[in-house]
Structure 1
């Protein structure tokens, strides 16, 4: 018996993905393949790929939804097209595998990435947030999941209409995440008044370095460091495959230079800067080293005894130059901010020790505890990889602990003389362990978790609005 031809909707979807000429003369082999294998029944059995009619009534037409997720005409003149190209090729592969029932393991499980850090990570824009995003996408690839980019929340909704059963999670920008909960009348959440919204259990946000989300939605915030007290979902990130590509420079072959960690010059004047203004000149003379860094020019861009590699009107220091300078430096020194930066981990992978500034507090019983640390997770590793450089919290800005400079100089002397002579990557930051955490996250029953969270929180569970949600 002859196979049934695809419906008009399926032809529209395939035409949108492959070009409307695909059913004419442009690709006869592909046309024959699709007409041979694509059956509407296959797609319905796989979760109704094209969305449910009742959820589209009163909204965009199917053709409009296709244009929203596959429209190259709305790109700004200087915008990079890489993420659109990724979507184009990925949607092709996904549609064919579903239609022909040939999906690889997890290929028919879809993740939507709306946070712009993921789009920027795709093209290699440097920043700690993109390191986290890039590492996550690497794990998705290893696990075989399909991921698609969305620039606006409207595109996210369109993807849900097209792939209502395939989507496993959506990661959106924190600003959009807050809007979904704060503005109930225009909320993006799926409910009786918004049947085309995002199921609440699918909605995640990436909380980057040092930030978290409040209960009861804390577990739906993915974080790069294990901040247990915030109850977020620790995903972490891995620099393993990336950093080992940088050639290792033996300590004795390195120039007498030390990298200062702080991408903006205002950190030299901020409340957490622990040293005097003259410490770099003094340390340079005592230890015969040069202090370098890459800072913006918000606060002038210069500081006594520090050479800024960032030119006033020049392009930003690129990742290749940054990695090279870190790998050939004798040490990295924190200046109080930014907190929990990825840079110290790269340094340790290059065999470069990190000097981590900490504020110490003297307890009534005479013991000392760390009251603040620029990088508490790296600080836990200890010598010879990380040196915690203490200054007393008795001195409040703009006061400086008079012993802080001397403690820094002696710590730097020790780090140069005794510091690591080989690469070091913590076990938790290796790609295999990071991918295992991503797998656990994606395989968790988040619908059940959300029910427990809502029912256990009096503040939210008693709110009648939550009863309108559709999970």
Structure 2
């Protein structure tokens, strides 16, 4: 009788990867950022993922999944995987799939930065469009998956689905401690059950979240810093939508942009503002207009290159209250243009207590002049107007060089991404659950998900 021989770990891994490749990976016909793929014939991977010999470019995030699977199977079969290549990250977040499509919201810029760092570090990543796909990806990749980065709603979708989350009834499910919420805002409306360390943030809110951050190096470093003497004597107003000027968050309704004080008599204000006031539920007056004194450069949003050029030829980027947490001030600083950051709320007894500040961009709360100028929204409109113009005058008369805050540099981001993937999160979660048990906290029920 022929004896049964257990497969080797490598054979088991190859079999699992091949099985995953044969599973139904969804198909959506949307154009995405192209990624050049290499053709390596004479391997199992080439049987599963045939492609032209030269010049092929992936044009969907599903193609990226296939390319990464091909490479992972190929290096595993050949025994040539790099140090981090068999460490897998799964993205269960639309911010990442939209980023691959070419969207440029703040969330997409953050997602692109994370993917750039993972690429540089040599990790492998895959996309899942919903928690059902997440469950399928994880079921086949298992222990290769170091972490899952998921939209907060998808974190909870997985927790609620017994076919997704790991439990005594689903031992191949995703362990809760591997799932991290990808949350752009400081406070998630759907908090992670394991607490703030399992919530990733784009800015250092100093609130206990895992500060992952991002960088604008990939775009702004390609732009030259315009010498201060060659710039126009103007301020670029950060306001993509006309409706921003009619929201409660608008900070400067008292400012007459058309008539600055005598010391700034030749200063102008420009912006790129599109009229979105026809959209539903916009609380605006009839025939809304851009405030007098602001020249609209384009009634549609500028494309990226035009935006960089117009900001680079300005002496200040002016925040008006919205949009919050925009990456644009980082772009401006990288172009040598300071940012005026409105402070909407603060400790009236200690105005300099920045931990109590609520600003348009809390990522800049602790930055100082001449890079970021903070102006408190004083209830006394005379005082508020005075502070506004004084900050403007200091900013436009004080040149700065290209500036990227240290914790938003590319090297800092890469270091944090590496720490996120390689930290022993299971041990941290186990200690947390033990502490809950010791205190009688009902949250100890999450021990079931280990």
The offset of 1:388, in angstroms, is: 1.2
1 CA distance for matches of 2:218 and 2:31? Answer: 31
Q: Which moved more, 1:133-142 or 1:207-216?
A: 207-216
For structure 2, the 5+ residue unaligned runs are 1-5, 34-58, 278-283
**Which of 303, 307, 321 in structure 2 is aligned with 1:322?**
307
Corresponding position of 1:452? 431
| Distance in 2 of aligned mates of 1:359 and 1:327 | 27
Structure 1 residues 337 and 161 mapped into 2: Cα distance closer, same or farther (>3 Å)? Answer: same
Q: TM-score of the superposition, structure 1-length normalised?
A: 0.77
Match of 1:226 in 2: 204
Q: How far, CA to CA, are the matches of 1:465 and 1:381 in structure 2?
A: 42
Q: 1:47 to 1:293 in 2, by over 3 A?
A: same
After TM superposition, give the deviation of residue 361 of structure 1 in Å: 5.0
Pair 1:66 & 2:45 matched: no
**Alignment match of 1:131 (pick from 99, 102, 109):** 109
Q: Is residue 197 from structure 1 mapped to residue 199 from structure 2 by the alignment? A: no
Q: How does 1:162-241 map to 2 (within 5 A)?
A: 162-181=140-159, 183=160, 186=162, 188-212=164-188, 213=191, 216-229=194-207, 231-241=208-218
Aligned equivalent of 1:340:
325
Give a deviation string over 1:410-457, Cα, whole Å, max 9, x none.
21122111231x111122111112111111111111111111222323
The answer to whether the 8 Å contact 2:226/2:313 transfers is yes
Question: Offset at 1:334?
Answer: 0.7
**For 1:352 and 1:389, how far apart are their aligned partners in 2?**
17
Q: Using the alignment, how far apart are the partners of 2:158 and 2:140 within structure 1?
A: 21
- Cα offset, 1:43, TM superposition: 3.3
Alpha-carbon shift at residue 461 of structure 1 (Å): 5.0
Structure 1 contact 113–171 (Cα < 8 Å) conserved:
yes
After superposition, the Cα gap between the structure-2 partners of 1:169 and 1:266, relative to the gap in structure 1 and judged at 3 Å, is same
Deviation at 1:148, TM superposition (A): 1.2
Q: Distance in 1 between matches of 2:384 and 2:16?
A: 63
Alignment CA distance shift 1:186-1:286 (3 Å): farther
SS in 2 for 1:165: helix
Q: When the two structures are superposed, what TM-score results if normalisation uses the length of structure 2?
A: 0.81
Distance 1:133 1:464, change over 3 A: closer
For structure 1, which runs of at least 5 residues remain unmatched after alignment?
Answer: 1-38, 52-61
In 2: Cα distance, 1:227 partner to 1:428 partner: 12
Q: Report if the CA contact (8 A) 1:47-1:163 is conserved.
A: no
Distance 2:172 2:258 in 1: 62
- CA deviation vs aligned residue, 1:283-312 (integer Å, no higher than 9, x gap): 39834313213345135573332233453x
- Contact residue 279 and residue 405 of structure 1 kept, 8 A: no
Deviations 1:320-353 (A, max 9, x none): 2222222221110111223332211111110101
Structure-2 change in CA distance of 1:351 and 1:93 (3 Å)? same
> Does the C-alpha gap of structure 1 residues 240 and 111 become closer, same or farther in structure 2, counting only changes over 3 Å?
same
Q: Kindly tell me: are residues 193 and 287 of structure 1, through their superposed partners in 2, closer, same or farther at Cα, counting changes over 3 Å? A: farther
Which residue of the partner structure matches residue 25 of structure 1? none
Q: Is the 8 A contact 1:43 1:49 kept in 2?
A: no
Kindly tell me: are residues 172 and 211 of structure 1, through their superposed partners in 2, closer, same or farther at Cα, counting changes over 3 Å?
A: same
**What is the match of residue 267 of structure 1?**
244
| 8 Å CA contact retained: 2:17, 2:69 | no
Pick closer, same or farther for the CA change 1:194–1:362 going to 2, 3 Å: closer
Instruction: Determine if the alignment matches structure 1 residue 304 to structure 2 residue 283.
Output: no
The 5 Å alignment of 1:152-167 reads 152-167=130-145
| Structure 1 pair 309–40 and aligned structure 2 pair: CA distance change class (3 A) | farther
Partner of 1:24: none
Question: Do residues 412 (structure 1) and 412 (structure 2) align?
Answer: no
RMSD of the TM alignment (CA)?
A: 2.9
Partner of 1:43: 10
